[in-house]
Chains A and B, each alone.
Chain A
Amino acid sequence: MGEKNHEETQAETIVGPSVKVEGELSSEGNVRIDGQVVGNVQTSQNLAVGEQAVISANVKALNAVIAGKIKGNITVDEALEITETGQIEGDITAKIISIAPGAIFRGQCQMPLSASQETAIEVEEVTE
């Protein structure tokens, strides 16, 4: 995992293993984190967090795949995937959430609904 390079990940921003980042890590492109981050992480594109990564920060992304440790709240616009090695301590918000067996998650979970989904639920309630 730690040997992944820029070409394989197609990420525009990469925090490599054995690197410690402090501050506001923001990007308009895909981000991959294999090292440590303290502060905030924000991208308008996809975020990949490697197995070795340790993040102590609030995280915002379009989509995210988490295989490492995150202490902080995660807000994802579309899909959030926590793999079997993922460990999250904080609240998560995403439209689609997938948590693999073996993953650790301590926090609250929110799934905001789109307007059409909310309408569908209301219709179902009326029908009942």
Chain B
Amino acid sequence: MGIWNLELRISLKIATLWVVTRRVKNCKLKIFIIMYYYIYDSFLENLKYRKILDRVEIRLSDLAIAGEASHVRPLRNLEEIVLEALGQGKRTIIAVGNDYTFKKIVNTVLNQNGIPLSEITVGIIPVGQPNFISEGLGVPANEMACEVISGRIIKIIDVGQVNQEYFLTQAVCGFGGKNEDRNKRGNLSYLQALHYKPQDIIIKIDDKFQARLDLFHLVLINLSLKKEALPLTNPADGFLNVFATSKLSPFSLFDKLKLIEGEKYALLPKTSVFQATKVQILSPHQKQIDILGDLQKIGSTPATIKILPRHLRIIVGKERTFE
């Protein structure tokens, strides 16, 4: 059994398994080899993930898409691994881990200049929490994700940018920007944020006009996280969908919070809606307001938020929130 395991591990490490596609063009058979490179985050060293990872590796092997793998270690960080892999010619990088793992890989890919982004594809096998991004991409957790990787549906999506930081799904500030710990505490974190006081804010849209309001909640959506979101956004349209909600009555606040939690921004009253490629957020009273991107703090006001159209090739599942 031990030898078998060792053999399996060695084969997973060194074997470059392929997906072969045949295209007949000019009566010649062309063969394309796709090499997957898997990067395992360091928190997966925890024994509680061992069985899940075993199942993932077996499934990858069954589907003939196992490939070279690297594990993040204290002396070998994720960024180094990604850059090294790209330098070695790997072009399909798969994160094994949570949203944070995936975001770090995406950031590294986007920040490097050596290889055109049109040649690089990223994907995720979600293991551990949080997993909001993968839900939006339609990638199920654990070994179920292997089918999606194997299916290799690739979409080229827009990427949002707050100052110099990137986000794939949404940037949030105001009430929602107080919920950085939502990942850990779930919806209960909203209770802590109920003391949030609306703040005077100026939102400049595409250098054409500016809106000033007592802001309760501001969200700039590139990719909806939930299929029941209203409206569902298209992450390949080259626009950010901006929803700015003014101060709400405290009597109906809980109902409104449910709408925010369910991403049903179209049902929120006192909400202004714009489409933009560039948004500047200013707080006229000099008070800094936090901005979350993909539910992590990535900046504060004053901030410029842009959309980088069709910027990232990404592997998605059939259950994704967009076409």
Contact = CB atoms under 8 A, between A and B. Distances in A.
B267 interface: yes
Contacts of A128: none
Given A13-B273, A14-B273, A21 B267 contact: no
Given A6-B266, A13-B274, A15-B272, A23 B246 contact: no
A26 B276 CA distance: 11
Contact of B214 (A2, A5, A14, A18): A18
A12 interface: yes
A25 B209 CA distance: 6
B266 A18 contact: no
Interface in A1-56: 2-7, 11-27, 29, 35, 39
Contacts of A4: 269
- Chain B contact surface mostly: strand
Given A6-B266, A18-B247, A19-B244, A39 B211 contact: no
Contact of A5 (B209, B247, B269): B269
A56 to B, nearest CB: 13
Contact of A6 (B208, B213, B273): B273
Size class of the A contact interface (CB-based, 8 Å): 20 to 34
A16 B244 contact: yes
A34 B213 CA distance: 13
A119 to B, nearest CB: 41
Interface in B197-234: 208-214, 230-231
Given A12-B273, A17-B270, A6 B231 contact: yes
Nearest to B245: A16
A7 B232 CA distance: 12
A14 B271 contact: yes
Contacts of B273: 6, 11-14
Interface residues of B, number: 25
Contacts of B245: 16
B275 A12 contact: yes
Contacts of B190: none
B274 A20 contact: no
A9 B255 CA distance: 20
Given A2-B270, A3-B269, A6-B273, A17 B246 contact: yes
A19 B209 contact: no
A4 B273 CA distance: 12
Given A5-B268, A7-B230, A21 B209 contact: yes
Contacts of B211: 15, 19-21
A128 to B, nearest CB: 51
A6 B209 contact: no
B265 interface: yes
A28 B314 CA distance: 30
B270 A16 contact: yes
Most chain B CB neighbours (cut-off 10 Å) among A20, A23, A26: A23
Given A6-B267, A18-B247, 18 more contacts: A3-B269, A5-B267, A7-B266, A7-B267, A13-B273, A13-B275, A14-B273, A15-B211, A16-B246, A16-B270, A18-B214, A19-B211, A20-B211, A21-B211, A21-B212, A22-B209, A22-B212, A35-B272
13 contacts: A6-B230, A6-B231, A7-B266, A13-B273, A14-B274, A16-B213, A17-B246, A18-B246, A18-B270, A19-B213, A19-B246, A22-B210, A22-B212
Q: Nearest 10 A-B pairs (CB), nearest first? A: A23-B209, A6-B266, A16-B272, A7-B266, A14-B273, A3-B269, A19-B213, A24-B208, A18-B246, A20-B212
